[in-house]
Homo-oligomer: A and B are copies of this chain.
């Protein structure tokens, strides 16, 4: 995400939310969307795929939810904080549940270990942005 910081800071209007927390959140969302897309795909190629059905489903959901949260947080024009807050809360829930499931398989599958870390990172970034919205 080499261009994200420069994109966010070149917006013509003053930021409605904390710029640092915003940039972290945008980057964490896209990073987690990619990680969950990869993890669903890697699980699908594992020999014990039948034990990973719930993990794949949660990965697909988390990828979709993080992706859309990354889009919403990327937009700084006419911010509606209610919509932003609800989507961030949905993203926190998706990352928590998906991260916890990946954690269960982390010892045996490297992709689940890495993905759990991406989920935790995104959950924290969303929560940090939520805190600045409440202030």
- What is A's interface to B at a CB cutoff of 8 Å? 1-4, 6-8, 10-13, 26-27, 30-35, 37-42, 44-47, 49-50, 53-54, 56-58, 60-61, 63-65, 67-68, 70-72, 74-78, 80, 82-83, 86-87, 89-90, 92-94, 97, 109-111, 114-115, 117-118, 121
**B residues within 8 A CB of A65?**
68, 72, 83, 87
A61 to B109, CA, bound (A): 24
Q: A41-B77, A49-B53 are in contact. List 14 more A-B contacts (CB 8 A).
A: A1-B27, A1-B34, A10-B110, A10-B114, A11-B45, A12-B42, A12-B45, A12-B47, A12-B111, A41-B76, A42-B76, A58-B78, A58-B83, A86-B90
Q: Which of A8, A12, A38 has the most CB of B within 10 A?
A: A38
